[in-house]
Structure formats: structure tokens, C-alpha cells
Structure 1
Amino acid sequence: MTAEAPAAPALSYGRLLPVTVHFDDLDALGLLHNARYPVMVERAWTALWNDQGFLAYEGDWEAAGDFCNAVKELRISYEAPINRPGEYAVHLWLERLGNTAVTYGFRFCSADGALTYAHGTRVLVRLDAATLRPTPWSDRFRAVGRELLRSRD
């Protein structure tokens, strides 16, 4: 399969993070397995937050702070197949930053961001470690999050 991926607009918002597709990420047809896209997007988000000084979860939900969260919704649309291992990228941004929830936007794309293979959104809810009920994001998270918001202009 050698379908051309649709072109994407120039990157004017969010961040582009590199990801590597390995041979064992491909399915029996030689295509990137559909379940691998969300895993690689998750890894890209983790790298982005780590680069912003937020440490990864290390076994203590109380200490995890903003990383004590749960996925409420995940939507993904597959536009064109990835049919070979190599270097790609994930374009990340925030669609919405609420009091206790955030909507992430993402595109799985070529390494330069020009071609889109898949895109979607994921809604996360911040949880209180003791009660597992929604709780507000920290001021620090919100400050970094505002920088990632996609402009509505």
C-alpha cells in the first residue's frame, strides 16, 4: 500500500515531537497497527511534559500531582497508512484547558509535519489521589497549558 497522505497546513501552533516506528509496530499487512498510534502519542505527550519540568509518575499518586489523571475520551481518525518503519512525528496541542479536564489535540505525521497519517483528540480529567474525584489542575500546569492552546483565530 502506498497511499499518499494528505498535506497538512504549516505548523503554527503546538509542538512537533519525533517518534520512531519500528518493524515490530507493524501488523501482518505491514501497516502501523492501529493500537500503536495512541501509545506513540502518549509517549510524545509524556516527553513534552517532561521537557517542561513535569516528572513522570514514579509510583506515588499523591506526589504525581497533575499526572494523577484518567482518560475520559479518545478519538482518532486514520487518514493514510504508515507502511514502513522510520522516523515520524507527533504534532501536539491543547484544544481546551478547563478547570479539571483538558482536551489534547494530536496529529501523527511525517517527521517534518507536512503529511498527516492520523489525527484526534483525547480528554483527560485530573483526579484527587485520595478520592479519585476530579480536582483542578495546578497553576503551573495551567501556565504551560496556555502556551499549548490552539488559537481560535
Structure 2
Amino acid sequence: MTAEALAAPAVSHGRLVPVTVHFDDLDALGLLHNARYPVMVERAWGALWNARGLVFEGDWEAAGDFCNAVKEFTITYDAPVKAPGGYAVELWLDRLGRTGLTYGFRFCSADGTVTYARGTRVLVRLDPATLRPAPWSEEFRASGQDLLRPRG
């Protein structure tokens, strides 16, 4: 997926990334299972970073910025997803600190007009040898600047 494909349609801040809900993502009631939303958000972030050239290749010793841990996760479900198909996740950064970041997300219709869920997630960048907080790389920080939500 190219960076151009991840850029449309336009949103007021961040990026709208396409995701696909499959039949086996649905629960017994035919609704997107609550545990699948975080997976969809994680996949959207992976696609966004990969499109920007930031790729995890499976080596944890060299994982760099991909060596991180979730400190906090919040989600609010606004409306049920009732069918498989194309949807989107709007992604943005609320805060990009030295060793941590807070990102926001909105699971929505493919065109961004209907919101199904929204939330935040706090990540801490870790040193792979010590598992202690470590600073984000300059490459990562530069790549994320345009994702920062404007204050105000």
C-alpha cells in the first residue's frame, strides 16, 4: 500500500487508513467482535508506518521504534459494525514525547462519515535489551510530525 493510498479521503487531522472486516471477525450476533477493534487499529498503524518506510522485519534486537509496549488503552463503542466489508481507521498522534506517545483513533465507514468506535492508546518505546523506556528515533519522530493533532 502506498502513502498516497493512505492519504485519501481527507480528514481534518491524521490519516484515514482502509481496513477490511471479514466474516470471521463477527461474533455470534453478526456484529464486529469487540476484541477485533484493537486488532484493526493495530493493522492500520502497521500499514501507515510501512507506507512511510518504517518496517519491522522480525528481529527484536534491531526492532528500534517497533520495540514498544502498551501502557494504556481506551475505547468507546458508538455504533455496531453489522457486516463484513471495507471500513477505515482514522489515526493521529495526540502527543509525541521523548519515550512515549499517545495516539487517537476512530473506527469508521470507508468514507469517514460514520463513527463506530473511538479511543486512545499510550505506547512506551523500550530498549530491547533492558525493556526500559528509550527515546524514539529521529526518523520516527520526523515521520510522525504530520500526524500530530493541532492543539486548540
TM-score (norm 1): 0.91
Per-residue displacement from partner, 1:77-98 (whole Å, max 9, x unpaired)?
Answer: 0000001111100000001001
SS at match of 2:63: helix
For 1:64, the equivalent position in structure 2 comes to: 63
Give the conservation status (yes or no) of the 8 Å contact 1:95–1:103: yes
* Structure 2 stretches lacking a partner, 5+ long: 1-9
Where 1:112 maps in the other structure, the secondary structure is coil
Question: Which stretch of structure 1 is more off in the superposition, 77-86 or 48-57?
Answer: 48-57
Q: Once the 2 structures are TM-superposed, how far is the Cα of residue 67 of structure 1 from its aligned partner?
A: 0.2
Contact 1:57 1:67 in 2 (8 A): no
Counterparts of residues 1-153 of structure 1 (less than 5 Å): 11-58=11-58, 60-153=59-152
Structure 1 residues 46-100: Cα deviation after superposition (integer angstroms, max 9, x where no partner): 0100011011241x22211000101111100000000111110000000100100
The corresponding residue for 2:4 is: none
**SS of aligned partner of 2:117:** strand
Q: Which segments of 5 or more consecutive residues in structure 1 lack a partner in the other structure?
A: 1-9
Q: Distance in 2 between matches of 1:62 and 1:56?
A: 11
Kindly state the Cα deviation for residue 42 of structure 1 after the two structures are TM-superposed.
0.2
The aligned amino acid for 1:106 is F
Aligned-pair identity in percent equals 75
User: Secondary structure of the equivalent of 1:150?
Assistant: coil
Aligned length: 143
* 1:45 partner letter: W
* 3-state SS of paired residue (2:108): strand
Q: How far apart in 2 are the matches of 1:101 and 1:145?
A: 13
CA distance in 2: counterparts of 1:57 and 1:106, whole angstroms: 25
The code of the aligned residue for 1:35 comes to A
TM-score by length of 2: 0.91
* Structure 1 ranges of 4+ moved more than 3 A: none
Provide the C-alpha distance between the structure 1 equivalents of 2:76 and 2:124, rounded to a whole number of angstroms. 22
**Offset at residue 147 of structure 1 (A):** 1.2
